[in-house]
Chain A
Amino acid sequence: MKNNKITICDATVHPGEIANLALPLPELYSCAPLFMPIKVIHGENKGPCLVVFSVLKGVELNGLEIANRIIEYLDPSRLSGTIIAIPVMNVYGLTHYPSNLPTGNDLANCFPGEENGTYGERIAYLVTQEILKKADYCIELETGDINHNILPQVYCNFDNTKTKELAKAFQSPVVTNVALEEHKLRQTAEELQIPLLVYQGGEAMRFDENAITLGVDGIKNVMRAIDMLRREPIQEVKPIFSREEEWILANKGGILRPTVSLGQTIEEGEIIGTISDPFGTDETEYIQSPHKGIVVGVNTSPLIYEGLRIFKTASFLDYDKAEAAIEEWDKKQSDSFIG
């Protein structure tokens, strides 16, 4: 069936059109105007509206690249429905690194926003009103923080069956329950009853080709699963579901030498790395895992301070099955993630 036109602010986008839109952002003290680039690919045929966005903190470059590659791939004549892609949601954060917002808070926690609120709340209000309210599905593209290399995984709300099915379709090796309570954007999506997937892979401010390719393929597969693209979804990977993830923190500052790698199962009490004195004076500390889990994130910085996050572990019901699934998935990748 033929698609209808959609309107974002004062711009009407017609079926079959690829529109490059620039959303004016709240003013800064300089006379430099700031715009949020929005790409709308409006399919000729009717279908759902999928919103894909990235760079909420200003540093998630893998997500930016994934969004751009998806935009390049799509042809509106072969698309059922609409893609609204926002490669950079936090333009201020991207251009003012390491600052996030002029007010210092996270853009994610400014949602659903307020028309006359703070800088971030005003952006959030525009996005909620003009973009999110038009969405049937939503995909957030994330990376780990600076120096945090994350095993590609999808977060979703396990209580929502539809979202869980979409998470499977993404074909990432691990699916984890999303943390809603500390993320108001995700809460807003829940309130608007928009199934939301969060894809996380690689580390901030770095391009990770494997994580990017997996993200692009994952979005394409989700689009197939919701009938936006004609092909049947690929179902090669059986993801494993993790209820909980936890960061292990450093008890001492110094040089970190991990002895485990991403995807590896670690036992409670197992030595997973060492922290030594950079000046060779103090004794080397052996880091013991406080619980059983699979390593899904590693701090890649050799220099760490006390209290810094160093290993992220995910807990599973069946570790043998989980580790086997991750290994099997890793073999199918062009470059190994788990080393």
Chain B
Amino acid sequence: MTNNQFTPKGFLVWLICAFFFLYEFLLRTVVGSFQQQIMHDLNLSSFHFSLISVALFLIVYGLMQIPAGILFNHFGLKKTLVVASVLCSLSSVGFASATHYLVAAGCRMLMGFGAAFGFIGLLISVYNWMPHRYVAIFIGLSQFIGTMGPMGAAGPLEVMSHSAGISWRLIFYCLGGIGLILSCLIMLFVDNNKQKAGKYIILQRPEKTAVYIWKLFARNQLWYIALFSATIYFTVEYLSENEGRSFLLLKGISPASASYMITIAWLGYAIGNPLAGFFSDMYQRRKIVMNLAASMGLVSVLMILYMNNETLLYISFFLLGFSSSGQSIGFATIAEQCKKPFISVGLGLNNALITTLAAINAPVIGLVLDTIKEGNTPSLSEYLTVFNILIAVAATSLLVSLFFIKETFCKSAVEYTYLNLSKSSSKEVVSS
């Protein structure tokens, strides 16, 4: 009921949740580092490898976002995260021991199931424990950790895989062990921040969750914000995971520079997240940061598509990544449109739409590209034709932000803002 204060316990909870997010992010991306070994050991084709490395994991991950929010709401942070962490740990060990494709695929799906709780859990820990006026900064920092962790870990793992000859199985056994240690830490330290009135803990009355969730999903603002988050984030992920490098090569950019540009985009994203959160919290505005991010996103997409100057392309990729950090403001804003017990569901919806748009739109763009190129290698002009979809997506985020999303002024739009009498404005006047 009252605003949270910084506490060591709160910081510890957030830190453990952040480590779990980092851990699940690593599980998501680490398979790619051992592609050759895994394909050889499990006798997989490229198609089957792509299924266990990305597709199956992400399908379960995406589908579980809203249910994850509901489960957090029902069982609380500790129980849900412990189960998620144990599932990740067991599925890692299972994956490490797999000798058959189906077992590996099943373990990856289970891993996706457990991992689905990582980001939502981290955001809930922010809302539960961190002062409300710094929520966007902490969401940004959480995103930063999620991005930087795997980036930092990818290099050493590649080295282990190629030079030191360490088996992928050993890595996954280790990851299973880390998961168990995390489960213990979650069990020991992670907890919901109980709302208190004096020395009393305020209990939550059982609510008819289904009825409220139905009402929640009927709120237009939730969908606008989720659409904004999904559209602002889509392009950076699409270009880095799909056709970005091939497109840049056709523009005459060297393979090394093309890879750097993708890395620069993620660097922009990593820097942008805490920075956008900081400015949003400091000026107590959400919409203006979203508008700026969406405008920057549209301009950077246009520059990437139609500029050939290498320096400008570097800048454009940085700006594209930076603008994508607007999605962390989307998370902060969507939470302000939900009543406190259902913030987790709102956050789940936002993350689900982000994942779904990527899951649907990327193959759609691929399909259009396949149709246009008619079996040949796509030309630059064919890429440009198809990438009009990217312009449309970026323009959608700008339109939604400008005309549909309402400013929340960093306050809940559906609940009261409880005033703190110890920070009375009149007293401030007197003391100044």
Contacts and interface: CB of A to CB of B under 8 A. Distances in A.
Interface of A: 7-14, 16-17, 19-24, 31, 33, 35, 37, 126, 129-130, 133
Contacts of A31: 197-198, 200
Given A7-B425, A10-B422, 20 more contacts: A7-B428, A8-B425, A9-B419, A9-B425, A10-B420, A11-B419, A14-B409, A17-B409, A20-B417, A22-B418, A22-B419, A24-B419, A31-B197, A31-B198, A35-B416, A37-B416, A126-B421, A130-B424, A130-B425, A133-B426
Interface string B395-429: 00000000000010101100111111111111010
B285 interface: yes
Contact of A129 (B415, B416, B424): B424
B33 to A, nearest CB: 47
Given A19-B411, A20-B415, A9 B1 contact: no
Given A10-B423, A129-B424, A130-B424, A19 B417 contact: yes
Contacts of B428: 7
18 contacts: A7-B425, A9-B424, A10-B425, A11-B419, A12-B284, A14-B285, A14-B409, A16-B407, A17-B409, A17-B411, A21-B419, A22-B416, A23-B419, A24-B418, A31-B198, A31-B200, A33-B1, A130-B426
A129 B424 CA distance: 9
Contacts of A12: 284
Contact of A14 (B198, B200, B284): B284
Contacts of A23: 419, 421
A10 B419 contact: yes
Nearest to A14: B409
Contacts of B423: 9-10
A22 B420 CA distance: 9
Interface residues of B, number: 23
B416 A17 contact: no
Contacts of B426: 129-130, 133
Q: Which of A9, A19, A20 has the most CB of B within 10 A?
A: A9
Contacts of B418: 21-22, 24, 35
A22 B417 contact: yes
A46 to B, nearest CB: 18
Contacts of B419: 8-11, 21-24
A20 B1 contact: no
A207 B355 CA distance: 51
A82 to B, nearest CB: 14
A21 B424 contact: no
The 6 closest A-B pairs by CB, nearest first: A10-B423, A22-B416, A9-B419, A7-B425, A129-B426, A10-B420
Nearest to A37: B416
Contacts of A37: 416
A17 B425 CA distance: 18
B292 to A, nearest CB: 17
B212 to A, nearest CB: 19
B130 to A, nearest CB: 17
Contacts of A24: 418-419, 421
A326 B54 CA distance: 79
Nearest to A133: B426
A22 B416 CA distance: 6
B265 to A, nearest CB: 33
A112 to B, nearest CB: 12
Nearest to A36: B419
A7 to B, nearest CB: 4
Contacts of B284: 12, 14
Contacts of B416: 20-22, 35, 37
Contacts of B412: 20
Contacts of A8: 419, 425
A11 B2 CA distance: 13
Contacts of B198: 31
A65 to B, nearest CB: 20
A24 B420 CA distance: 8
Contacts of A17: 407, 409, 411
Contacts of A133: 426
A308 B339 CA distance: 49
Contacts of A20: 411-412, 415-417
Q: Which of B198, B416, B428 has the most CB of A within 10 A?
A: B416
Contacts of B421: 9, 23-24, 126
B200 A11 contact: no
A21 B417 contact: yes
Contacts of A130: 424-426
A78 to B, nearest CB: 16
Nearest to B415: A20
A323 B423 CA distance: 53
Nearest to B430: A129
A11 B132 CA distance: 12
Q: Which of A11, A13, A21, A31 has the most CB of B within 10 A?
A: A11
A9 B420 contact: yes
Nearest to B408: A17
A133 B424 CA distance: 13
Contacts of A21: 416-419
A133 B419 CA distance: 17
